[in-house]
Amino acid sequence: FTSPAVKRLLGWKQGDEEEKWAEKAVDSLVKKLKKKKGAMDELERALSCPGQPSKCVTIPRSLDGRLQVSHRKGLPHVIYCRVWRWPDLQSHHELKPLECCEFPFGSKQKEVCINPYHYRRVETPVLPPVLVPRHSEYNPQLSLLAKFRSASLHSEPLMPHNATYPDSFQQPPCSAFPPSPGPGHVFTQSPCTAGYPHSPESPSEPESPYQHS
């Protein structure tokens, strides 16, 4: 059963706010306001004459400041501003109290004003969109992994998987960019490209154990 007072207040409901939820929110409010002389009249006056001066319409502040209505819990001034003014209201950050309001939500007083015409809506700062690159363009994890692998390839000697080397063998270091040969230099097979030991080019270089006599 919906009381006549609740029906009257629902007559000012805005937008397509869920009917049953709005009815429960208003019913909960009516029960609180009936305990205060003149509170119901003041709320109806504010709703019927938007823009006209009106007094605060207050309810007791709960321990955590929020109000439970059915399965939803929210801040009381946000709930009733959503019912009677802005159905798309998302957060208390979008509301600022008017100077005439004596019990705004932010004042942390024992009573909270829920008069929807004692609050104004403000633009919330719009954050710039976060552009997420496509997988093929850039992936920080893959990029770091590729760099790590690349560094590993340049720092480790190239060696065939099926070859075994004696412990005494020292693999010559492999440079990613060998120096350009001077004039008259005869190209020999590079350890970087072949991956196998090569014949020593000078007597000072250690002789390979695979060198044939």
Residue 77 lies in a domain: yes
Q: Give the pLDDT score at 66.
A: 85
Q: pLDDT tens digit string along 201-212? A: 545 555 555 555
SS3 (DSSP) at 147: helix
CATH number at residue 29: 3.90.520.10
What residue numbers bound the domain in which 67 lies? 4-121
Long-range contacts of range 161-166, CB-CB < 8 Å, 24 or more positions apart?
163/196, 166/209
Positive or negative, the CA dihedral 118, 80, 60, 45 is positive
The β-bridge partners of 113 are 58
Q: pLDDT tens digit string along 23-53? A: 889 999 999 999 999 999 999 999 998 888 9
Q: How many domains does the chain have?
A: 1
Question: Alpha carbon 125 to chain centroid distance?
Answer: 15
pTM to 2 decimal places: 0.55
